[in-house]
Every structure is written in C-alpha cells, then in structure tokens.
Structure 1
Amino acid sequence: MATIWPLLLLLSVIFTAEAQQAEQPVIRRGSLLIPTGTNSSWLSRSGLYAFGFYEQGNGYAVGIFIAGIRNKTVVWTANRDNPPVPGDVKLHFTSNGRLVLQTAQGMETGIAGNTQGAAAASMLDSGNFVLYNSDNSTIWQSFDKPTDTFLPGQKLTTDEDMFSSYSATNQSTGIFRLIMQQDGYLAMYPVGTPPRLEYGYGGVGVSGEGPNVSLNFDADGRLYLLNGTGISIMNITKGDTTKGVIYRLTLDPDGILRHYSHNMDQNGVWNVTWSNPKDKCDPKGLCGINAFCDQDAGCECLPGFKRVNKDSWASGCERNFDSKCCKSNEAVTGYTMETELRTEWQNDSYSILTSPLTQEECGEACLGDCNCEAALYKDGKCMKQRLPLKFVRRNLSDSSVALIKVGTSPISPDPGVPKESKKKNRVDILIIGVSLLSFACIILVVSGIVVYKYRVWLYRNISNAL
C-alpha cells in the first residue's frame, strides 16, 4: 500500500496541472503586446497575475506582476539586466513559436531563453508563465527561473538560487544571493563571494541532512524544507487557512529574506510575516565599501569618505581628500587618525602587531606606515589594513575600535611649490620650447641654402673642365 501513494500523488499532480491548463486563457502564436494602451499584458484567468510590460526607469521591462491588487508587485523579470526598452517595441509570440521582443528597427531579443517551437502559452493563476508544445507538455516555465521572488507552488532544489533586485524600482540583479546548498542549508551571501561560512550572513537548515534538500512553498503560505526522501525536516512558516490571502517570499534589495502576506478581501498592503536575518546590518556589503551599517542610523561613510552614488549605497564610499604620496622610511605629515567605536570589518590585514599596545600606539603605528590606511584595534592587538574596507558594521557587543587615516586638509599634488611658481615655470618652458623650435627651423633653412649653392658651384666646375 505504501508504494501506491507516490503513484497516486504523481497522478494527482498531473491531472491537476492539466486541469489548470484547460482553465487558463490560451495565448496562441501571432499574439502581440505593446507597452502602452490596453494590450500591454496577458492576464491569468482570475486577473490576479499578468505577463507583459511594466514601467521601469525611463522605459519598460517585461515580466510577471500581481495585477489584481492596488500596488502592482513585480515577481519575475525577463532579461533583468538588460536596459529598459522604449515604447515602440513589441512583444511577439511568433509563427515559429518563439517569444521575442521586436524593436522598430527589426532587432529581436528572446524572452524565454532560446526556446522555440512553442504551440501555446498561458499565464497561470499561480503566477507561473508557461510555454507548451503541440502535445500540451510544458517546455518552459518561469517557475524554473526565479529572479528575486518565490511563489506558492515553486520549489528551490540543490544548487538553485535567486538574486535580490538592485532596488525597489529597479529589477536588475542586486548584490545578494540566496542558494539551496548541497549541505541542506538555505543560505545567503553577497554576490561575488564564494559560498563559505565567513561570507554567509543568514539562512536556515538542519545539520546533517546533506544533499537533495529542497525549499517548498504551499498555497496556504507554509514555507518548509523537505529532505531527499520527501520528509519535512523544518517548518519555516506556518500555514494559514484564512481565505483571500496571497503570499510571496522575496530576497529584498537590502539582503533580507522576507515572507509576505496580502489580504485581498481587505484591499490591504503587504505584511511581513517572517524574515531572516533579524538584524538589518547582518547582510554583508549592504552599505558598500568604506561604509558601515548602524542599526539606528542605517548606512554611513567612514570618517574621511563620501558617497560614490547618492542614489545607492551599493557603490560605497570614496575618500574626500587627496591622498599624499608616501616614501618608505619618510615621516608622513598631514594626516590624523579618527576612530569609530565598536566597529568591525572583514579581516584582510597585511600586518598584525601582537605585543600589547594601547589604542594610541596602534594609531601611531598606522600613521608611520605608508601602506596603512586603517587599523582595527582590539584586546591590545593592532591589525593594519589597506583600502577598500569591506563588510563594515557597528557591533555593540564588540570591543573593536576602527582607526581610520584621514587627511587634515586638501593636499596639493606637489607640496612646497606654490601654484604661482608652477604657472611661471610652465610659461618659461613654453617660451624656451618655442625658441628652440624657431632656431631649429632657421638652421634648417640656412643648411638648405648652403647645400643648394654648393651643388650649383660643383656643377659649374664640372662643366668648365669638360
């Protein structure tokens, strides 16, 4: 009897999928969408989800969004890192079964990968956009290619991942990654870092479960982990039988994984029902390089730095003074050491002074070292470091003190030589250069005349001799 249940479950899933497909509006070859007007998207049967154009930046993007609520919410984006498209493009389901963006100049960009030969498509009420072949089998679906959002009915299996968006209004790839690891943990990392413990900042899992663990999401909002044999090993969120509630799981631009609910009957807003991690400063790299995260104040630049991009912290901060050239064994002036209490960062020190030092001695050691641009002082140790400083954050439970080398005033490129003197030197050099060029031209002309006269004299002497 136990062996019959998996077969019955499989048949149930197949019949349910076929029933859903039969109920959904079918999109046929030759169908067309444009960014403006009423023909800008294909709706699911209930009108809750839509596939098509939505506004982004100074143009449009193609994706899936929840259309049946007051605040339209994007849950999937095609070619998310491509720039926005203008209003004169068309989304065409071609006669050969491809889904492409066509520009006014005739250029085409595929939307569903390189898939072709699709006979029909549907925007399902689950939020899944599906392409079918002539046998009504699924050949591509958006649920297999999540961007920053996970919907009920989706499954994230081993080595599959999602990436946060750049911002709330820009759906291009952001700076955080969620992955279902081979060790069975659902983990988060900054983009561009290897999946190692030192870079991870959150996640859930059960020790010892190993590979083939999957993240699952039910229609009632229950989020849970299954092991390789299909046994539930962790409930992340509980299910809710309240009717008229929809759910989503999103890796937000700030690196926090949030489970949201929205009550359709109350025409409400998205409510956070679960999040991980709880500390908003845990996501490493949230504030970019040379900046730190503070629980109360948010992101701030370190002393002596300014924001690179006022619209986004992801670009971090840069020095607000000109750094002075330094030679070894030469005293450096024009700098001071400024402190940030209870501050830590990624330990990438090139030199560690281990003998018990005071904070002042650590600062002096950095000031006297041309290579030292910052130092982390803790428990009598002084850790010297170069820029950039990564994953900086305030940690109230840590005794570390950040010491930052800061210029006391703007430094001229060549200290000790007044600007007026530099200008005079440049004028003198210009005059000398012009004079030398003129003298060379005169010499060249005189040489030409002498050579010419010599040849004339030589010709006459030869003629007379003959």
Structure 2
Amino acid sequence: MWKNNLSLPHNGSPDDNFSMRLILPHLRGTTTSSYFDSVPSFACGFFCAGPAASCDAYIFSIFFVYAFSMEDVLHLQSPQVVWSANRDRPVRENATVQLTGLGDLVLYDADGTMVWSTNTANKFVVGMNLTEYGNLVLLDHTNAEVWRSFDHPTDSLVIGQMLQVGQKLMASSSEANWATGKVYLTVLPDGMYAFAGVDTPLPYYRSPVYGSVLTNFSAYIALKNGSLEVFTSFRVTEVPDYRIQLPIDYYGLEFVRLDWNGHLRLYQWENNSWVSSDVLDITDPCSYPLACGEYSVCSDGQCSCPDAVLRQSGLFELIDSRELNRGCFLTNSLSCGTAQNARFLSLPNTTHFNIIYNWTTNEEHCKLSCFNDCSCKAAFFLHTDTSSGFCFLASDIFSMISVDAQSYSKNLSSYAFVKVQEHKAGLSKERIAILLVKIDQQMDLIDPRSTDMKLHLDEVFRMMNLAMWCLQVDSNQRPFMSMVVKTLEGSMDVETELDLDLVNIDLMVANRAARWNEATLQIESVLSGPR
C-alpha cells in the first residue's frame, strides 16, 4: 500500500507550482550531481497541479518528470502527466493506492471511499510494473499482462501506444480544470476524427478516408518516434494509410496530447524544457472548437465576448482578462425556470466551427425553437434567400467565428442568436452592506463561521462605524488620518452623529471600474513618459 503523503519521494520546494509523490519511478540519471546530465523519464504516483504548499486535489497518474540528485537531494521538475486514473474525482492528502490480495489495484480517498479500480480481482494478478515506455501493467505469475494503462488512454499518447476503434482521447475541461471536457479524438473505421460536443458531437477534423465504414473494425492510430500513423484499409501490411510526419527524438522524449481547446499537440523535450507544436493540419486558428473558449467570438485569431463585438457591455465577462482565449461567461446565468426573461443577442456574420443544419425554416421560427428549448443556448441561421434558410440549435456552446461579410451575397448571410438573460437591477454588495448598517443589523455582515470575529465584536463594530465615518458625503464631516489612527488604537471613540444617506455607492463602484479600465488601456508611450 502507498499513502499519499511526504513518506513517498517528493518534490521538496514549497515554491513549486505542483506537488508530486512517486510510487514507481522509472528514472534515469538521478545519481548525477550535474543538472544537465539527466533527461525526463516516466514515473507513476500522486500528482497535484497547484502550489505545493496548499495542494490537496491529487490524481493517481503516470508522468514524465525531470529528476536529478544534487548533494544527495532528489529534485523533481517539469512534470507532464500522460495518463490518469481519477481526473474527475481527485483525492486528498493521505489517500492510498493498494494492490489487494485478490489482485485488484484500488485507489481510496483519505476517508476510505473507493475512487477507482482496475477491476482485476480474481484474475491472478501478482505484481505491478511501470515499463520504460510509460505503460503501467499488472502481471500474473507467468509475467503475462492482465491489465495495462495503454488500453485506457485519457488525453495523451506516448511513443508505442495505439488508439483503437472505440477508444478516445478526452481533452480536459480547461487549462486549469483537468476534469473530462467536451472535446475528443477517436478512430473510426474510415479514419481519425476529432469531435466537439456532448449532446450533438460535431467533427472539426478528419484524416483522409481510406477504410470501409461498414466492414473495418480493426482501424487504429499509433504514435511512433517520428510519426503519427493511421491504419484503416490494411492494403499493405505494416504500411499506414495516412502518416503525419513528426520530428524524431533520440531519447523518445515526446508525446501527443489533446489539449482543452481542441489542439492536438506534440510535446518534445528541448533545451531542458518542454516545447509544443500543432499536429493536425488545421490552418485557420478560429476553426478549433474552443479557439477562444466558450461563448467567445474568434476573428482572425483574436477573441472577444459577444457583447463587446457589438460595442455593448454587461451581458458577458471575460474568464481571465489576461488570457482572452479562456472564453467568456454570462453575467446572468440561464435557467429553465426563468426562460420567460431570456432574449437573444444577434451577431451578424457569425457562424460555428461546424454546423449540421437541422432543417430549412425561417429566421423567426429558428429563434422561437431555441427560445422554447431549455437546452438550447444559441441558434445559428444561414439565409439562403430573403425569407428562408438553414437552422441549427446548439446545446453545447463553443467559440463562434466571425466571418467576412463580403464572402456572402446580399441574400446569403449567417447569424448567431445567443440566448441571454435579461438583466435585472439589483443591489450591489456595497449597497447591501450600507443598508444593513443603517438599520442597525451589522451582525448580518459578520461571517457566522468566524470564531475570531465573534470574540472581538467590539473591534469589528468599531471598524464598521469608522468606515461609515470615512464615507460621509460632506468631506468636512470625515475624520482626519490622525483621528482614524487614534480610533483604531482605541484612544478615541467613533463619531456617533453620522449622516447615513451616503454617496451613491453603486455609482462610486462603477466609476472606480471605469477608472481601472482607463488605466489598463494606457498606451506604452504614456506609461514610459516622464514622471
């Protein structure tokens, strides 16, 4: 049994942005004292993506890791996970992995809950091994393989691994969320395909077709050192029907991963770091289903929220203003119970990465069908003439694509109608806080779970009242800084005769946001000007 704690070999720096505990290392070069004499190798164990000091969401996984020893201290760097058992159910500190007496490899969370199993009980398993190729295998007494991780891929293929009919590489939900997402790569009897969507999967890539859809159930793809090969027709033994050439690596330090946005990327170890490049021959960056994340519009590789495209605001927000390709989210989420408050945001000259138009109808009927369907998040309509066209209802929302209006004739245009929730004016958090003070209900502002606040209520109330004093509309009624300091020290009482009809806090917050946006838009010449 292996327990997920510091008793296992682990990375020692609390400043690392990951936490790793090794169970079966297959490492090379860990006895050297030189930083540059080691190259990444495979290992399996517990891995957590996040600050090492606070990580507590681990996956049992196989990973490349750059390991080296320096002054008898093991250093682990540059990990890349290539397989995981429990990506949708992370475990905590002190979780365990156990090879039971019945031959089942089982992952238990810290509270004893079973999270994952190989389901190999009573199959005469007597041992476990991690091969030099990154394949975790369970063996019987004759050394025959009973179970292997290569047969249960997640989002990656390593050299020597195959993906067969019925198997999928499932991308993660996002760059920060490793749970199973909506994009996958698979092999069908007639070739390799990449799909996006859960309810209605739509292909955004397929390799050249050679096999027979009706008869070929032995098709597969294989990653080799220097190529990704697709086998479908088997007209010539050991000769692929389609080959994507890749760089050859002397150590075999490369793998392909289907990333969260739909890109299939080759990862290679170069100059002591991992570098990646696209594998699929998709030339238009906007053609990937999550090129700009969910709800975002892609135009020549640039990403914008739908309301920003129309020079509006308030309906959507960026998930991360520093990384625009992470996508957008609705400021007022949709729900079936409030469908009567929904409306459509109309985006002209906007389409989808791939559309299977459901039927021919008119624009209004297309929109009405989406409005009456709780699962529909957007309707896409392609005009064929002034009165009719093709309609597609999307229940999975991906990136949208802005197309050149010049590419359409006068009577052939594309629209996206995105369902949004009508905004209802409400009270801001700041306004609610002030109202609670005005009606003498400050206790409602205190976290009931905070023992520390409950033990120091007098100080908490003093801080609240001091804040009200500092927010007086009449600046002459506000305290000097010296008075604030004395109040905090307890040598002076807070003024009790306060005017609680304060400045419009909502306007103040809006102005603050506007000033922030203005500040973030300063051009380089302004920022580098004289001080």
TM-score strictly above 0.5: yes
**Would the alpha carbon gap of residues 352 and 111 (structure 1) be closer, same or farther in structure 2, given more than 3 Å must change?**
same
Which residue matches 1:206? 209
Q: TM-score, normalised by structure 2?
A: 0.56
Question: Identity over the aligned pairs, expressed in percent?
Answer: 20
Query: Residues 45-194 of structure 1 correspond to what in structure 2 (within 5 A)?
Result: 45-46=27-28, 48-56=41-49, 58-68=56-66, 70-82=77-89, 84-115=90-121, 117-182=124-189, 184-193=190-199
CA distance, structure 1, for counterparts of residue 170 and residue 126 of structure 2: 31
Q: Secondary structure at the match of 2:250?
A: coil
Matched, 1:305 2:315: yes
- Compute the displacement of 1:147 (Å): 0.2
Q: Tell me which amino acid in the other structure corresponds to 2:57.
A: G
Matches within 5 A, 1:215-230: 215-218=221-224, 220-227=225-232, 229=234, 230=237
Contact conserved, 1:94 with 1:100, CA < 8 A, in 2?
A: yes
Question: What SS does structure 2 have at the residue aligned with 1:72?
Answer: strand
Per-residue CA deviation, residues 238-291 of structure 1 (Å, 9 max, x unaligned), is 36555235111111100111223223xx31322316334333322336667654
Name 2:243's counterpart in structure 1: 236
8 Å contact from structure 1 (residues 321, 410) kept in 2: no
Q: In the superposition, relative to structure 1, how do residues 245 and 100 fare at CA in structure 2: closer, same or farther (>3 Å)?
A: closer
For 2:386, which of 348, 370, 380 is the aligned residue?
380
Aligned to 1:36: 6
Q: Comparing both chains, which one has the higher relative contact order based on Cα–Cα distances under 8 Å and sequence gaps of 6 or more?
A: 1
Mapped to 1, the partners of 2:158 and 2:416 lie a distance apart of 45
**What is the alpha-carbon distance in structure 2 between the residues aligned to residue 169 and residue 411 of structure 1?**
31
Q: Which residue type is aligned with residue 96 of structure 2?
A: K
Report Cα offsets for 1:334-385 as digits up to 9, x if no partner. 99x975343114476888349xxxxxxx9xx989x99799774645355588
Residue correspondences, number = 358
- Structure 1 residues 44 and 403: alpha-carbon distance in aligned structure 2, compared to 1, 3 A threshold: closer
Q: What is the one-letter code of the residue matched to 2:302?
A: A
Change (3 A) 1:314 1:139: farther
1:454 maps to what in 2? none
Asked whether the equivalents of residues 380 and 416 of structure 2 are also in contact (C-alpha less than 8 Å), the reply is yes
Q: Which has the larger radius of gyration?
A: 1
**In structure 1, what is the equivalent of residue 403 of structure 2?**
395
Amino acid at match of 1:248: F
Q: TM-score, normalised by structure 1?
A: 0.63
Q: Residue deviations 1:199-221, cap 9 Å, x none?
A: 21112133345422210122x23
Specify whether residues 407 and 74 from structure 1 end up closer, same or farther in structure 2 by C-alpha distance, changes over 3 A only: closer
Which residue type is aligned with residue 280 of structure 1? P
Structure 1 position 107, deviation (Å): 3.4
Structure-2 change in CA distance of 1:307 and 1:133 (3 Å):
farther
Q: Among 293, 298, 320, which residue is 1:293 paired with?
A: 298
1:249 aligns with 2:256: yes
Q: CA deviation at 1:85?
A: 1.4
How far apart are the structure 2 equivalents of 1:351 and 1:151? 45
Give the equivalent residue in structure 1 for 2:484: none
| Structure 2 residue identity aligned to 1:305 | L
Report the Cα distance in structure 2 between the residues aligned to 1:395 and 1:56, rounded to whole angstroms.
38
Instruction: Give the equivalent residue in structure 2 for 1:277.
Output: 282
| 1:219-242 deviations in Å (ceiling 9; x for gaps) | x23211224543423443336555
Q: Are the counterparts in 2 of residues 247 and 261 from structure 1 also a CA contact under 8 Å?
A: yes
Secondary structure, counterpart of 1:143 in structure 2: helix
Aligned pair in 2 of structure 1 residues 410, 110: CA closer, same or farther (>3 Å)? closer
Per-residue deviation, 1:402: 2.8
Which secondary structure does the structure 1 equivalent of 2:285 belong to? coil
RMSD: 4.3
1:96 deviates by: 3.3
5+ residue gaps, structure 2, are 10-20, 29-39, 51-55, 68-76, 427-531
Q: After TM superposition, give the deviation of residue 134 of structure 1 in Å.
A: 1.3
Q: Which runs of 5+ in 1 are unaligned?
A: 1-30, 327-333, 355-361, 414-466
